[in-house]
Structure 1
């Protein structure tokens, strides 16, 4: 990997789109603005041009409606890539842009590409579940496709997948552990914004003032971060509903352990909704050396794995184990 960049990440409010500073910008346009500035900035300094790219990978978790990219070509057209540059669209739940990097890495490893631009975008304000009509026959007991091992209702609810994973992992960690992690994450983000840590990584993008689409504003930092304390986060409303798993003593055991019959997922320990775009340039090692470009990272392995989608947050664990094993490493 020889360079990377991203937009700031906004704070998405699907019910109040005007409060999202990128609410008036399509996701593909957001990515395209990033790429135009990326190639005019640090990539130009390194001598990397759009025509040098063999493949563009575009990852989007919900490639429907305006997020449909024509196989990744629309962002390529918008940002001025010549027609000989190929593209591909990826939908991996969850990790589409990461899988785009996997594809680029394998193209380079096998000698079919020299330079790959791996990108991704998401816009949870403009496209959040609309235009999606999944076949849920596996939840119908009368269907030939019925799967008794599928908890479809939980699969479709991010709050509930987190709650179920938490209950399955008791007593590995507690709500307080999650709250501490959330507080640390938000506070570190604020600290690093103030220190300039993200300078060079985040490319400022023109948006609008929160709540006023007629007031232009240059956005240069992530907007979901909130400085806080463990005491404040502990009082935030609980948004998830418990499963009261029998292996943990059912409802009685849950209340005894948690001190409440409410869930443990709150705005302080859950991932926020946002809009943003990312990009990374992958290059074959000898090509980078020939160009005098110092790599930022060397790719030694990768991994992917499937898990029960109702506890999809567990996915990175077996995927990481695979990647480590392939590289001869261990956790």
Structure 2
């Protein structure tokens, strides 16, 4: 009936005349939002023109200025993940229609050049274009969404959505803005708030306690440590061969970085309780319950399903929907609470249909609030830890989350059909995307 009503909107006919005009439609087994459908059966029958993900890789994520990538160039982080999506799938580099890289902090023209350099290092010919996109913390997810949209529109059949951030060199911050108009608009003023203050605003406005924030941080580290010990990140991490410079001697030592280096397995409530508020006297946001400042990169290879089938490539997931939604900049961290419902609705689903969530832990305050607001089952959210433990390389986080989500969905098999990636965005927005677990069955 919903489909018939929608067809009526599109054709200009009321529902009744649809039968007379032979426009009556019936539910398809691909419609994941119809609760009367056998989900296991529906997952095996999809459209040739579905946009699918066939590979998703990332570098390890390392602490900025102190970690394994502190002496690595940004292009040398992006290079290995771009190379991996080609070498591990066997596609020809010249088949890629575009590479879109989410990135935030570096000057735009400089980062665009670094990304182009990385593509050449990775073996892409000059005919393959590349560009950057900046939607702040959702830039990596936006890159994936942009590529999915371009494939859906028929601009090209194969594309890469990637992300890169090198926070060892570029940190969050800006100089004073000399514009008297700012004083005339409160929301404009709130766009300039330090992110830590917006975290405190969320905690104060929605009653998120310091204790609940610290508990979320402990869980993040414990889950990330357990995932690492169990080898659950091995399928998504590409080891990076680089060098570390000895601060005392200046000597360069070759190293291979293959694990995230910000995870603290022994994090405890007592340890976190000793930390002072980082942004506001008497506040609850600390260095221990906030995301880590991090270096990293990731890349996601997308194409039409028929192309993946022709090439015999395994399908990790199907891109089902994307939404970016604005919210109050003073509490920008609530973004996932407004973006997730929008993306889920666009996919024809309900929150209860989602089996797994990857929600960026920019701050524990906003992460806790969003989970509570949406009444999410804790067993479905960030099951392998989040940004408090793994780090948050701003432009790369979205690509990292897509890979982490899809590899976990693959491990869980047929009982895990739909997943969501979401994050808050500075100046007051949220972004979310819905993915369906992949299937290599032929369309029917």
TM-score normalised by the chain length of structure 1: 0.81
Equivalent position to 1:324, from 339, 344, 368: 344
Structure 1 position 125, deviation (Å): 1.1
Structure 1 position 67, deviation (Å): 4.8
Q: 2:199: which partner in 1?
A: 162
Deviation digits for residues 214-253 of structure 1 (CA, Å, limit 9, x no counterpart): 22221111111112122322222221216xxxxxxxxxxx
Q: 1:255: which partner in 2?
A: none
Describe the shift of the 1:120–1:55 C-alpha distance in structure 2 as closer, same or farther (beyond 3 A).
same
CA distance in 2, matches of 1:209, 1:77: 24
Deviation digits for residues 246-295 of structure 1 (CA, Å, limit 9, x no counterpart): xxxxxxxxxxxxxxxx1101122100000000000011011111111221
CA distance in 2, matches of 1:84, 1:198: 33
Describe the shift of the 1:136–1:36 C-alpha distance in structure 2 as closer, same or farther (beyond 3 A).
farther
Q: 2:253: which partner in 1?
A: 215
Q: Does residue 75 of structure 2 align to residue 28 of structure 1?
A: yes
Structure 1 position 136, deviation (Å): 5.5
Residue correspondence of structure 1 range 1-331 to structure 2 within 5 A: 1-12=53-64, 17=65, 19-40=66-87, 42-43=88-89, 47-64=90-107, 67-70=110-113, 72-129=115-172, 137=179, 140-141=182-183, 146-152=184-190, 155-170=192-207, 173-209=208-244, 212=247, 214-227=252-265, 228-241=267-280, 262-331=282-351
Equivalent residue pairs, number: 295
Describe the shift of the 1:226–1:38 C-alpha distance in structure 2 as closer, same or farther (beyond 3 A).
same
Q: 1:254: which partner in 2?
A: none
CA distance in 1, matches of 2:59, 2:180: 38
Describe the shift of the 1:135–1:235 C-alpha distance in structure 2 as closer, same or farther (beyond 3 A).
closer
CA distance in 2, matches of 1:67, 1:311: 31
More strand by share: 2
Query: Are the equivalent residues in 1 in contact too, given 2:101–2:115 (CA < 8 A)?
Result: yes
Structure 1 position 52, deviation (Å): 1.7
Describe the shift of the 1:177–1:138 C-alpha distance in structure 2 as closer, same or farther (beyond 3 A).
farther
Q: Secondary structure at the match of 1:165?
A: helix
Gaps of 5+ in 1: 243-261
CA distance in 2, matches of 1:66, 1:195: 41
Q: Secondary structure at the match of 2:323?
A: coil
Query: Are the equivalent residues in 1 in contact too, given 2:71–2:244 (CA < 8 A)?
Result: no
CA distance in 2, matches of 1:66, 1:217: 30
Describe the shift of the 1:67–1:186 C-alpha distance in structure 2 as closer, same or farther (beyond 3 A).
farther
CA distance in 1, matches of 2:337, 2:245: 37
Query: Are the equivalent residues in 1 in contact too, given 2:112–2:131 (CA < 8 A)?
Result: no
TM-score normalised by the chain length of structure 2: 0.62
Structure 1 position 23, deviation (Å): 1.5
Query: Are the equivalent residues in 1 in contact too, given 2:245–2:252 (CA < 8 A)?
Result: no
Query: Are the equivalent residues in 1 in contact too, given 2:159–2:301 (CA < 8 A)?
Result: yes
Deviation digits for residues 164-218 of structure 1 (CA, Å, limit 9, x no counterpart): 1111212xx3222221111111111111111111112111112345865622221
RMSD over aligned Cα atoms: 2.4
CA distance in 2, matches of 1:210, 1:266: 30
CA distance in 1, matches of 2:108, 2:149: 30
Structure 1 position 135, deviation (Å): 5.1
Query: Are the equivalent residues in 1 in contact too, given 2:168–2:295 (CA < 8 A)?
Result: yes
Structure 1 position 139, deviation (Å): 6.0
Structure 1 position 60, deviation (Å): 0.3
CA distance in 2, matches of 1:75, 1:134: 33
Query: Are the equivalent residues in 1 in contact too, given 2:70–2:244 (CA < 8 A)?
Result: no
